[in-house]
Amino acid sequence: MLSPGGLKMSLYRDRADAGRKLASQLHEFARSRRPIVLALPRGGVPVGYEIAKALGAPLDLYIVRKIGVPGYEELAMGAVASDGSYVIDEATMESLGITQEHFQAAMERELAELKRRERAYRDDRPDPELAGRSLIVVDDGLATGASMYSAVAALRQRKPAEIVVAVPVAPAETCRALERVADRVICPHRPAYFGAVGFYYDDFAQTRDDEVRELLARADREKASWKVA
């Protein structure tokens, strides 16, 4: 946001502050069908921790990676999640003449990287059961929303009761696109002119791997004492 004088006006002190403010709009989901907070690492984890604490819900990760077109990796032809769920952009593949064999090879490379990251973050935590549950998928903000869109598409294959996207800030057009694939999109700030996610934070330092592990471990230790507000 900009003041009349053109100065930056941050919405949030840091990711924890964003999570606490976002949680105030999510209390209805505390009484939904076995809610679980799934944070997109790394920046989504501090936000997700505060939401999970406020809702008395478990916190876990959901990691997705874009599957790039061979030789043009910045162009996505699909995405894969760490649980092996994947989505394909068939129109892109057909227009570029990409075979299923090329897609499979690229997906396996990305899946191997996902597994490496998951081991680094989750240690021996078992995959949570998601079928029939309310999934609250969290990040610290969105620009294009490509990773979140891929996460929602992959999670839909796990047969949840509902998928709720929860982010502190995102462009209005990104929220509208996500509303076509998620059951709900909770985003309190949807500026028409966006810039970058970090613009809306006083402190947007990169979340470290050890912070991710610590917040997951803290959530596991504390969740029995969390009370639903």
Judge if 134 and 35 occupy the same domain: yes
Strand order in the sheet with 134-138: 59-61, 36-39, 134-138, 162-166, 184-186
- The per-residue pLDDT for 143 is 87
**Residues near 125 by beta carbon (within 8 Å), at least 6 away in sequence:** 60, 216, 220
Higher pLDDT, 59 or 126: 59
| CATH code where residue 118 lies | 3.30.1310
Judge if 59 and 69 occupy the same domain: no
Short-list 201, 168, 202, 200, CA closest to 187: 168
Please count the structural domains in the chain: 2
Please state, in angstroms and as integers, the Cα–Cα distance from residue 77 to each residue in 41, 44, 125, 198, 220, following that order.
Answer: 22, 24, 30, 28, 36
Percent of the chain with pLDDT over 90: 52
- The per-residue pLDDT for 6 is 46
Residue 172 lies in a domain: yes
Judge if 28 and 136 occupy the same domain: yes
CA–CA separation, 58 and 188 (whole Å): 23
| CATH code where residue 41 lies | 3.40.50.2020
Q: In this model, does residue 7 exceed pLDDT 60?
A: no
Tokens of 74: 């910045």
- The per-residue pLDDT for 3 is 39
- The per-residue pLDDT for 71 is 82
Q: What is the pTM of this model?
A: 0.85
DSSP codes, the chain:
-B-TTS-B--SBSSHHHHHHHHHTT-GGGGGSSS-EEEEPTTTHHHHHHHHHHHHT--EEE--EEEEEETTEEEEEEEEEETTS-EEE-HHHHHHHT--HHHHHHHHHHHHHHHHHHHHHHHTTPPPPP-TTSEEEEE-S--SS-HHHHHHHHHHHTT--SEEEEE-SB--HHHHHHHTTTSSEEE-SB--SS---GGGGBS--PPPPHHHHHHHHHHHHHHGGG----
Give the range of the structural domain holding residue 38, as residue numbers without chain letter.
15-63+129-224
- The per-residue pLDDT for 170 is 96
Judge if 147 and 199 occupy the same domain: yes
CA–CA separation, 62 and 175 (whole Å): 19
What digits encode the pLDDT tens for the residues 147-184?
898 899 889 989 999 999 999 999 999 999 999 999 99
Q: How confident is the model at residue 4 (pLDDT cuts 50, 70, 90)?
A: very low
Higher pLDDT, 82 or 29: 29
Judge if 93 and 133 occupy the same domain: no
What digits encode the pLDDT tens for the residues 106-149?
899 888 888 888 888 877 778 889 999 999 999 999 988 878 98
